[in-house]
Amino acid sequence: MPGHANLVIVANRLPVDQVREPDGSTSWRRSPGGLVSALEPVMRIHDGAWIGWPGVTSEQAGDLQPFQLDGLSLVPIGLSADEVEGFYEGFSNATLWPLYHDVVAKPEFHREWWESYVAVNRRFAERAAELAAPGATVWVHDYQLQLVPAMVRELRPDLKIGFFLHIPFPPTELFGQLPWRRQILEGLLGADLVGFQLSGGAHNFVRLVKQRVGHHTEGNDVHLPDGRVVRAQAFPISIDVAAFEELAGSESVEQRATEIRAALGNPRKVLLGIDRLDYTKGIYPRLRAYSELVADGHFDVHDSVFIQVATPSRERVEQYRLLRDDVDRLVGRINGDLGEIGYPAISYLHSSYPQHEMAALYRVADIMVVTPYRDGMNLVAKEYVACRLDDDGALVLSEFTGAAAEFRQAWQVNPYDIDGMKAAILAAANATEDELTRRMTAMRRNLRGNDVNHWAASFLAAL
């Protein structure tokens, strides 16, 4: 029997994670990552239902029923401890994640993980099919759920089905490594519209469908044997620009920014990195580049500091543990070698912060350093630009992020080239006020014209 929701968002995570407090009670905390930041405002406008995982195992969460939180209608999907291991940590984050990010780390292929991926995708699809009203729109998100579109279509051919991939879609040669490449492509072809961050991703997808599934393609359209047409198209995602501007301009954020600067000893230059602690983000080479600039005498720890916020992420996946050890060791060595009493070269925070604190940090930072080896978009770069209400501040940005296509006026860098990164950070540090204003004004203009509502509206209109 069909349900009542006219828009169903299907994403691996709910916008909130369940957390257990020391006294045994439970509460909800905003979950990490760009997907949640992007979709939350969309949900508010469209009054949809959001299906997702509450971030803890079913054994820990118990039986969770649909609930309302802050005006959002949330439908939890349970994952057992085995499924968290096989579907989430395994196939999603140790197979697909590194494969789709240019094999920055080596992907692992395990048949049990794949089976878990199929089973969990089916659970999401069945729930979406139950909740959707006749003729409703189901919008499926990201690499964890690529089989869901075809599964939903099989159950409910009356629905409009969209899929959006928040991470890069890899070149055909890399995707070809996947033992289940054809199943994934067929899963995605269940959608009417498959959205990517960049047109390159859409091209890779269409080329693969032709190569591996053998369907006829024409430009960005795939013609299926049953007459259905699936379109692949780029929709660069964004943030809620007005909300960030308002937050950044609030008295309490301004006050907090002043406090942070004072706590740092009112330095002349503050550099900032904010990332999930992920090996794709290029945290290691960025800190090395900065430390060499300090060692070479271009920055002085008495009047400069690099704040690196690393949000804990996927901590049970081996590559993430190794990364944490590497970054811990590097920060320790840099501060040990270059810091002085009361003046660390790097102020390192392994923690997650609310948006208010992030906005204050963005206001404090003279130079924002965003250097992923590969990133679908990178919303941190967009958040920084949105928060620079005085059109000042410098953005150093990896050319391998989706955001680089829009922020042409950033100091663009290749994160594999440490000397190039050093030169860009230095150029940003020495830029005149006029130059900073010219660059930031252009980036802010671009951002304002492409906020998250525009992204969602264009996707839904195309669907």
Least distance in Å: CB of 221 to ligand F6P?
27
- 91 vs 299 by CB, closer to ligand F6P: 91
- 190 vs 372 by CB, closer to ligand F6P: 372
- 276 vs 422 by CB, closer to ligand F6P: 276
- CA–CA separation, 99 vs 170, rounded Å? 7
Q: How many CB atoms lie within 10 A of CB 344?
A: 19
Least distance in Å: CB of 138 to ligand F6P?
17
Q: Is 382 in the site for ligand F6P (CB under 6 A)?
A: no
List the interface residues with ligand F6P, window 301-330 (CB under 6 A): 313-314
Only one residue has tokens 């406008």, namely 45
132-141 and 160-164: which strand pairing?
parallel
Least distance in Å: CB of 307 to ligand F6P?
21
- 12 vs 347 by CB, closer to ligand F6P: 12
- 153 vs 166 by CB, closer to ligand F6P: 166
DSSP 90: I
How is residue 332 written in tokens?
């320790």
Partnered with residue 373 across adjacent β-strands are none
- 217 vs 313 by CB, closer to ligand F6P: 313
Least distance in Å: CB of 35 to ligand F6P?
4
Closest CA to 428 of 290, 238, 295: 290
List the interface residues with ligand F6P, window 424-463 (CB under 6 A): none
Only one residue has tokens 């301004």, namely 254
Angle separating helix axes 452-462 and 34-46, nearest 10 degrees: 70
Angle separating helix axes 181-188 and 199-208, nearest 10 degrees: 120
- CA–CA separation, 119 vs 209, rounded Å? 24
**Which residues, at least 6 apart from 165, have a Cβ–Cβ distance to it below 8 Å?**
142, 143, 146, 194, 195, 196, 197, 201, 376
- CA–CA separation, 119 vs 113, rounded Å? 10
- Classified as helix, coil or strand, 454 is helix
Select the residue interacting with ligand F6P from 83, 142, 275, 451 (CB under 6 A): 142
Least distance in Å: CB of 164 to ligand F6P?
10
- 32 vs 339 by CB, closer to ligand F6P: 32
The residue number whose beta carbon is nearest to ligand F6P equals 33
- 317 vs 364 by CB, closer to ligand F6P: 317
- CA–CA separation, 133 vs 247, rounded Å? 36
Least distance in Å: CB of 55 to ligand F6P?
8
- Name the CA dihedral angle for 414, 331, 248, 15, rounded to a multiple of 10 degrees: 90
Least distance in Å: CB of 96 to ligand F6P?
10
List the interface residues with ligand F6P, window 15-74 (CB under 6 A): 32-36
**Total residues in contact with ligand F6P, by rule CB under 6 A:** 12
Select the residue interacting with ligand F6P from 5, 8, 10, 13 (CB under 6 A): 13
Classify burial at 28, counting beta carbons within 10 Å of its beta carbon; exposed 0-12, middle 13-18, buried 19 or more: middle
- Per-residue x/- mask for ligand F6P, residues 154 to 173, rule CB under 6 A? ------------xx------
Least distance in Å: CB of 446 to ligand F6P?
21
Least distance in Å: CB of 445 to ligand F6P?
26
- 347 vs 352 by CB, closer to ligand F6P: 352
- CA–CA separation, 199 vs 183, rounded Å? 23
Would you tell me which residues interact with ligand F6P (CB under 6 A)? Answer: 12-13, 32-36, 142, 166-167, 313-314
